């Protein structure tokens, strides 16, 4: 099975020091940034450094996927970014500040032409849009389901740029939770991603010095249906990988579910440990075991 990416770690695309530490971090994917982490004067340098870094790590030898966050379509740099990095065959593109699926379709067309021109496998570069960073974008999250975007990996969301877009002075309440608007947007992103047949990727956890808070947040995120998360510090990666993987208890329970249904092939509903189970529970158990076996292999 194709495993979901549990941890996406941002790396500034113009930092030789931080790029040099990538091989020592167990992130499922790295996002080499050409956007917000790179000052305007440094963007040309990053546009050279990132493809060189990717070319040194051909797909067949990569331990982790290599993605690139390009500049958004409302800037003059998007196509320049794509033209620079597509020949290096990154695994995917993170596209920020999208307004809706038509933006993803436009970038997909660019990639198709660039892949053909540079001999990269057609359709191999996926796209993960940050699908909530403009005022109009939350209204378009349901549209991804009918857009048939073959490159679409899934959807992720962001709070800071949305705050700026709507003139909000904050997005966290007195208890440290997202305020209502951001909870709503997060939920719509989760539903939109699954409606489109993709993965739902949760946004960053800002305090990288709070491992227990991160662990609790990631466990809750996975329970809701997110399959991975964006990290801003290497210290967050192992916790994300742990939390977005089936626990030993989940694996044991899933085995019991599968064995129970296998022993009762004519039953659609069965009881186990005081719980009533039906076919959706069986499918979830089979997915849990498949993920466990794939990770172990």
- Per residue in 228-255, pLDDT (tens digit) is 999 999 999 999 999 999 988 888 888 9
The answer to whether residues 293 and 4 touch, using CB atoms and an 8 Å cutoff, is no
Answer yes or no: is pLDDT of 1 > 70.
Answer: no
- 244-265 burial code (b ≥16 CB/10 A, e <16): bbbeeebbebbeebeebbeeee
Answer yes or no: is pLDDT of 226 > 90.
Answer: yes
The predicted structure's pLDDT at residue 273: 86
Answer yes or no: is pLDDT of 137 > 80.
Answer: yes
The model's pLDDT over 31-45, given as tens digits with 9 standing for 90+, comes to 999 999 999 999 999
The model's pLDDT over 265-287, given as tens digits with 9 standing for 90+, comes to 888 888 888 889 888 898 888 88
The model's pLDDT over 16-71, given as tens digits with 9 standing for 90+, comes to 999 999 989 999 999 999 999 999 999 999 999 999 999 999 998 999 999 999 99
The predicted structure's pLDDT at residue 285: 87
The mean pLDDT value for 70-74 works out to 97
Q: Is 267 left (phi over 0), alpha (psi -120 to 50) or beta?
A: beta
Map out the domains of the chain with their CATH numbers: 7-243 (3.20.20.60), 248-296 (no CATH)
Chain length of the chain? 297
The mean pLDDT value for 170-182 works out to 93
Binding residues for substrate: 69, 133
Mean predicted lDDT score pLDDT of the chain? 94
The model's pLDDT over 143-167, given as tens digits with 9 standing for 90+, comes to 999 999 999 999 999 999 999 999 9
The mean pLDDT value for 77-94 works out to 98
The predicted structure's pLDDT at residue 96: 97
Distance CA 157, CA 142 (A): 14
The predicted structure's pLDDT at residue 294: 76
Instruction: Answer yes or no: pTM beyond 0.85.
Output: yes
Residues 6+ apart with CB under 8 A from 152: 104, 126, 127, 128, 129, 144, 196, 198
Percentage of the chain exceeding pLDDT 90: 80
pLDDT band with cut points at 50, 70 and 90 for residue 184: very high
The predicted structure's pLDDT at residue 94: 98
The β-bridge relationship of strands 270-272 and 29-33 is unpaired
**Closest by Cα among 124, 36, 52, 108 to 85:** 52
Residue recorded with tokens 């904050």: 170
The predicted structure's pLDDT at residue 221: 97
Binding residues for Mg(2+): 133, 161
**The token pair that represents 226 in the structure block:** 């997110």
The predicted structure's pLDDT at residue 297: 58
The mean pLDDT value for 115-123 works out to 97
> Number of C-alpha atoms within 13 angstroms, CB side, residue 140?
21
Name which residue leads in pLDDT, 257 or 54: 54
The mean pLDDT value for 97-125 works out to 98
């Amino acid at each position: 099975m194709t495993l979901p990416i549990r941890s996406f770690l941002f790396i500034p695309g113009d930092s030789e020091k931080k790029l040099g530490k990538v091989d020592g971090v167990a992130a499922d994917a790295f996002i080499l940034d050409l956007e917000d982490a790179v000052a305007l004067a440094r963007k040309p340098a990053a546009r050279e450094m990132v493809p060189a870094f990717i070319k040194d790590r051909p797909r067949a030898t990569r331990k982790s996927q290599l993605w690139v966050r390009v500049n958004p379509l409302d800037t003059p740099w998007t196509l320049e970014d794509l033209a620079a990095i597509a020949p290096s065959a990154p695994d995917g593109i993170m596209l920020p500040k999208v307004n809706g699926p038509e933006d993803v379709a436009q970038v997909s067309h660019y990639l198709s032409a660039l892949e053909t021109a540079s001999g990269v496998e057609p359709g191999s570069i996926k796209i993960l849009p940050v699908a909530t960073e403009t005022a109009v974008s939350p209204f378009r999250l349901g549209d991804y389901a009918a857009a048939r975007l073959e490159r679409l990996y899934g959807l992720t969301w962001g709070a800071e740029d949305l705050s700026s877009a709507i003139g909000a002075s904050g997005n966290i309440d007195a208890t440290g939770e997202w305020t209502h608007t951001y909870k709503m947007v997060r939920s719509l992103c989760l539903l939109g991603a699954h409606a489109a047949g993709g993965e739902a990727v949760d946004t960053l956890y800002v305090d990288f010095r709070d491992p227990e808070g991160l662990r609790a947040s990631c466990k809750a995120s996975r329970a809701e249906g997110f399959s991975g998360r964006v990290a801003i510090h290497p210290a967050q990666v192992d916790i994300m990988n742990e939390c977005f993987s089936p626990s030993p208890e989940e694996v044991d329970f899933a085995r019991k579910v599968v064995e129970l249904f296998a022993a009762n092939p004519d039953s659609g509903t069965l009881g186990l440990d005081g719980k009533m189970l039906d076919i959706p529970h069986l499918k979830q158990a089979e997915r849990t075991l498949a993920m466990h076996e794939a990770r172990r292999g």
